[in-house]
Structure 1
């Protein structure tokens, strides 16, 4: 839940009215620039959004509207579901607006920033804070710039693999519990709950602090999840992808992430396999796919041999 007081602290905003509404909840990451509303058109007023008034809106309010209209528009702007109104460029809010905000507990805030910069900053902040979120059991590691989410049954070796990756110079984001936010379509950001940040649980050793042992360069607070590596015990009855032509996905919230299933058996270097998986994923994103290239060569060879007979 995001409250108006959180905005005040994040952007160092000054409070000019409606102090009793600092606990108002902000339900939407969308902003409203109520220019038409100040002119009198309220048919499609998005009253449940953060309202931003720039120089044009304040100038029109003060210079064009009559005293009666200013009072009317101020009251209609401030509704019980309106979380707050923010005036940019340190402009003096109209007296009618201050009074309406005090009456309805709509917080009236002032920022020194100009309208364009402020709307950009607050939109990015709201999209992140109000993004759909979930938690997943797994380990998130930054491997060669690729956010790799390692999943699998409890005790299969996820944390031990992450420890080996950290020793190889990669960075830990979260162990055991990964908080995931969908900041955009197919853009999932993962982080660790505050309680377990920088920590790894290794069976037989217990809890270790990765930052204390290996330095601050081995941890990362947040990373985009780009690849899921799922570990499972090797079963002879299962048929595993040997060429890499299968395009498996895992769905998290409303987004999809490429999934690779890695069977575990003695002698396999999981850390090394995950490093190669991350590098190969990056190559695939750049348009190079070894599996498809091999398949094309094979088809061409078959075609040529068939034609020569």
Structure 2
């Protein structure tokens, strides 16, 4: 099961310009605690001493009701409830509506190595934003070996054996204004809505290995407009060396797919040989996919017209 630390959770928030509108009250306490789900829990019953169904391993959200009750418990000096609550290894506590928990609550949280933060957001907004922020982190993942690029807004995974020309085709695509997401290895995640999202490799980033030249940093070589960090996967293209004995699809009537994370992605196999401009072929494939998504299939339209013409000629011959 995927997990992230509280530190990574807060970093994701920082990367989104404090998307959760939070402020940490416990400094560096509990940053190594692990979160294993984008689902949250509101510990209302636990504050009353009922822990049987307490889902303590989730992010704990203290809304207006829970937050005000925590203040009441502190005022009545019922700190034993806090002590009992923090026996459970909660990863993090979040108070919404900018409710500040009492000092006694914070001291016990620190003693038990639990991070406490406050947010100006409403509770419902906080729950929704946490799911939005962490969905990719907890999604099912798959790592592919290839190059992931964006061509005319289409996310394309380029596969092929070493030396077939993936890097050369990618460099030409970038020189024509298209963008690199990741080279060599690409991590794909399946989101709740079924989309497959590919992300840059955090170690390799936007570097590419080009034989004869070495490693080049595309972000510095071609500028920030030549890269992006993530993109939906729309098309898989496999490059292979031309084989005269193989019959290649000339019409495109058969629509093949490539299975990634139990999702069928449109798939093309493009043969490579001297004289074929792979960059133009990839661009054409991207445009053609967009046409299909808009309801126009060139191959099927041509085939339909041919059948109509053949039928018309047969009718004319019978007259």
Counterpart for residue 63 of structure 2 = 54
Q: Does 1:80 align with 2:82?
A: no
The alignment's TM-score, normalised by the length of structure 1, stands at 0.84
| Cα deviation code 1:170-206 (max 9, x no counterpart) | 1122222223233345422223324433322222222
Using the TM superposition, give the Cα deviation of residue 282 of structure 1 relative to its aligned residue in structure 2, in angstroms: 1.3
Count matched residues: 307
Counterpart for residue 198 of structure 1 = 206
Instruction: Tell me: CA distance 1:294–1:81, structure 2 relative to 1, closer, same or farther (3 Å).
Output: farther
Selected match of 2:119 from 102, 106, 111: 111
Counterpart for residue 7 of structure 1 = 9
| Cα deviation code 1:110-138 (max 9, x no counterpart) | 22333343333322221122323332211
Selected match of 1:284 from 281, 292, 317: 292
1:156, 1:133 → 2: CA distance?
27
Counterpart for residue 33 of structure 1 = 42
Matched ranges for 1:147-296 at <5 A: 147-296=155-304
Q: Does the aligned pair in 2 maintain the 1:47–1:77 contact within 8 Å?
A: no
Matched ranges for 1:135-154 at <5 A: 135-154=143-162
1:291, 1:76 → 2: CA distance?
68
2:271, 2:76 → 1: CA distance?
75
Using the TM superposition, give the Cα deviation of residue 161 of structure 1 relative to its aligned residue in structure 2, in angstroms: 0.3
Q: Does the aligned pair in 1 maintain the 2:95–2:101 contact within 8 Å?
A: yes
2:271, 2:132 → 1: CA distance?
40
- Please, which runs of 5 or more residues in structure 1 have no aligned partner? none
Q: Does the aligned pair in 2 maintain the 1:90–1:113 contact within 8 Å?
A: yes
1:82, 1:261 → 2: CA distance?
50
The alignment's TM-score, normalised by the length of structure 2, stands at 0.82
Using the TM superposition, give the Cα deviation of residue 260 of structure 1 relative to its aligned residue in structure 2, in angstroms: 0.8
Using the TM superposition, give the Cα deviation of residue 85 of structure 1 relative to its aligned residue in structure 2, in angstroms: 1.5
Cα RMSD (Å): 3.1
Q: Does the aligned pair in 2 maintain the 1:79–1:106 contact within 8 Å?
A: no
- Please, which runs of 5 or more residues in structure 2 have no aligned partner? none
2:44, 2:251 → 1: CA distance?
58
1:114, 1:2 → 2: CA distance?
24
2:123, 2:83 → 1: CA distance?
23
Q: Counterpart of 2:120 in 1: which secondary structure? A: coil
Instruction: Tell me: CA distance 1:75–1:293, structure 2 relative to 1, closer, same or farther (3 Å).
Output: farther
1:299, 1:92 → 2: CA distance?
74
Instruction: Tell me: CA distance 1:29–1:295, structure 2 relative to 1, closer, same or farther (3 Å).
Output: same
2:42, 2:312 → 1: CA distance?
65
